Structure 1
Amino acid sequence: MSTSQKLRELLARPEIIVIPGVYDCLSAKLVEQTGFEVAATSGFGIAASTLGLPDYGFLTATEMFYSVGRITQSINIPLIADCDTGYGNALNVMRTVKDAVQIGLAGIILEDQEWPKKCGHFEGKRVISMHEHAGKIRAAVEARGDSGLVIIARTDARAPLGLEEAIKRGKSYINAGADVLFIEAPQSVAELQTIAAAFPHVPLVANIVEGGKTPEMTTAELQKLGFKIIFFPLTALMAVTEVMSACFRHLKEQGSTANLTGLMNFQDFQELIGVPKYLQIEKEYIV
């Protein structure tokens, strides 16, 4: 069974799907090891970890697929990729979708921001016309062929144009063939309720960015409202950054790692990345 088929099976189940954001192979392997059934790449996280830059459209399609392609190879669970705007017009979207299918992605997110885009919780976002993005969604559906790739349509219209416009766009994108709808950065529980009421039969995404514009709600609360997917795109990135900062401060101040807490055991780390398995394989080929 392909990863896209696995994702479609999960979408068909009644339970809500909690999906952590990942930004490299190690974070993806940890998500899989912990027991999550799906992972999702964060464009914010990949830009920060590979370029040291914010999510301001600096990450190119080539750089994104370089990272995402390796992540897909490192895990066995479905992976959803943040593909920003599809990196251009409908023709570029078709190329992006074909690349996504080729590397084995289960799903992709395509948003309606102007390029260069920004993180959905930043100020100053601008969006293309609803008609243009609906065309890009139709192009994505055509380009995926019979692969089953899940198309998640995202609109960032809430901030610049208001919630009513965002809902209008959402309906257009679903009519264009998107499988899942992602209205980015609603700003209150009431807005989340309004979105859920407007799409009673559509799988909906809630995107929880700690400290962002959307209120933090529990999985049970969001499921009760009618949401199907909850992304936590930056949680791991911010947690790891805090831990690394503390580690480096300790080393700078103490001059050693003595009494440094929070380190994974070296043996456990070797198990995580498969050292015993590769040692055994190596022995089979040593003459």
Structure 2
Amino acid sequence: MTAYNREADVADLLSNGRAPRARLRELLSADAPLVAPGAYDALSARLIEQAGFDVVYMTGFGTTASLIGRPDVGLLSAAEMVDNARRIVSAVDVPVIADADTGYGNAINVVRTVQLYEQAGVAGIQLEDQVMPKKCGHMSGKALIGADEMAGKLQAAIAARTDPDLVVIARTDAVAVQGLDEAISRARSFAEAGADVLFVEAPTSEDDIATVARELAGVAPLVFNWAEGGRTPPLSLERIAELGFSLVIYPIGTLLAATAGIRSLLTTLKGEGTPVSALGSLPNFEEFTDLIGLPEVQQLEQRFSGT
């Protein structure tokens, strides 16, 4: 988020999120793939924005790990996910795409889920066709609802949004359960149901990825999940662009990096009794308070101090 250096009027303070949503649609229509690193909390989202990325992806895997220290197996409620999305949206100015899992129930639940995420200010939501409780798309043991039921949930999502710019991403996990052909068939039906963007999860070879891109070309923009350590081959961004994907998410790299950094610091602290030898590779206190917006707060204090 840029430093606060403009006069904010009531319209700014009460913004309903339309501008970020329109911006997301613009970015998705560009020739080059939109790169969306995963954020699991407000701090990681700020770091993504400060690194120069145009969009933030709120990862369900990372949200679950950071909030309750458990795997992504459907343990979080809609309220917990929406609450995290709201905090992330409040921390950045760029559009936020949020994982909304299965919509947390049937089509009626999806209506409320869309309303809550829209109120939280997200620019896009992702819905998937797994049975609740769901699992991470790169885990085994997934089960699917019927394609018709998922199409109905997507129709409910489209009907529920009050802002037509809200992007609805439809994900199918059918590759691991019923095969690539079924996944492509489902993706087509989800586009017919009104989904704005299609997401075929976890193809396991470059040939399968290319087949998805070829068969769904022109149907809707496509997501490539560059899941760090997952089942999908790690293609180069150039190859992903060549295949025609519009959005590339990197869902858990920030979470893994944070885990490695914390582990390293704790190893030093445990072995040496203080963190002194590790501090040289870390931001100092002043740098950190700057990156989380202390200068902005100080400007606000001066502006509203009444002196």
The answer to whether the superposition gives a TM-score over 0.5 is: yes
Contact 1:38 1:79 in 2 (8 A): yes
Residue of structure 1 aligned with 2:293, choices 265, 274, 280? 274
Contact 1:209 1:232 in 2 (8 A): yes
- Matched residue of 2:125: which SS? strand
TM-score by length of 1: 0.97
Structure 1 equivalent of residue 10 of structure 2? none
Q: Aligned partners of 2:205 and 2:227: how far apart in 1?
A: 13
1:174 equivalent in alignment to 2:195: no
- Matched residue of 1:196: which SS? helix
TM-score by length of 2: 0.91
Q: Aligned partners of 2:306 and 2:291: how far apart in 1?
A: 24
Superposed counterparts of 1:240-251, under 5 Å: 240-251=258-269
Calculate percent identity across the aligned residue pairs: 47
Distance apart, 1:14 and its partner CA: 1.1
Q: Aligned partners of 1:49 and 1:136: how far apart in 2?
A: 28
Superposed counterparts of 1:35-74, under 5 Å: 35-74=52-91
Contact 1:106 1:149 in 2 (8 A): yes
Q: Aligned partners of 2:93 and 2:284: how far apart in 1?
A: 24
1:123 equivalent in alignment to 2:150: no
Q: Aligned partners of 1:145 and 1:281: how far apart in 2?
A: 33
- Matched residue of 2:38: which SS? strand
Gaps in structure 2 of 5+ consecutive residues: 1-17
Residue of structure 2 aligned with 1:264, choices 274, 277, 283? 283
Q: Aligned partners of 1:166 and 1:36: how far apart in 2?
A: 30
Contact 1:152 1:178 in 2 (8 A): yes
**Cα RMSD for the two superposed structures:** 1.2
Q: Aligned partners of 2:164 and 2:120: how far apart in 1?
A: 12
Structure 2 equivalent of residue 254 of structure 1? 272
Distance apart, 1:282 and its partner CA: 2.4
- Matched residue of 1:58: which SS? coil
Distance apart, 1:283 and its partner CA: 4.0
* Amino acid paired to 1:278: V
Residue of structure 1 aligned with 2:255, choices 232, 237, 240? 237
Structure 2 equivalent of residue 78 of structure 1? 95
Distance apart, 1:112 and its partner CA: 0.2
Structure 2 equivalent of residue 206 of structure 1? 224
Runs of 4+ in 1 over 3 A off after TM superposition: none
Q: Aligned partners of 2:301 and 2:194: how far apart in 1?
A: 48
Q: Aligned residues, how many? A: 287
Q: Aligned partners of 2:174 and 2:216: how far apart in 1?
A: 17
Gaps in structure 1 of 5+ consecutive residues: none
- Matched residue of 1:2: which SS? helix
Cα offsets for 1:106-139 (capped at 9, x unmatched): 0000000000000000010001000000000111
- Matched residue of 2:249: which SS? strand
Distance apart, 1:41 and its partner CA: 0.3
Distance apart, 1:146 and its partner CA: 3.6
Contact 2:228 2:251 in 1 (8 A): no
Contact 1:101 1:147 in 2 (8 A): no
Superposed counterparts of 1:48-197, under 5 Å: 48-197=65-214
Q: Aligned partners of 1:53 and 1:223: how far apart in 2?
A: 34
Q: Aligned partners of 1:18 and 1:146: how far apart in 2?
A: 24
Distance apart, 1:286 and its partner CA: 6.7
Q: Aligned partners of 2:120 and 2:261: how far apart in 1?
A: 32
Q: Aligned partners of 1:146 and 1:262: how far apart in 2?
A: 44
Superposed counterparts of 1:10-29, under 5 Å: 10-29=27-46
Cα offsets for 1:23-42 (capped at 9, x unmatched): 11100001111110000100
Contact 1:4 1:147 in 2 (8 A): no
Contact 1:184 1:207 in 2 (8 A): yes
- Matched residue of 1:80: which SS? strand
Q: Aligned partners of 1:274 and 1:237: how far apart in 2?
A: 22
- Matched residue of 2:53: which SS? coil
- Matched residue of 1:40: which SS? strand
Structure 1 equivalent of residue 13 of structure 2? none
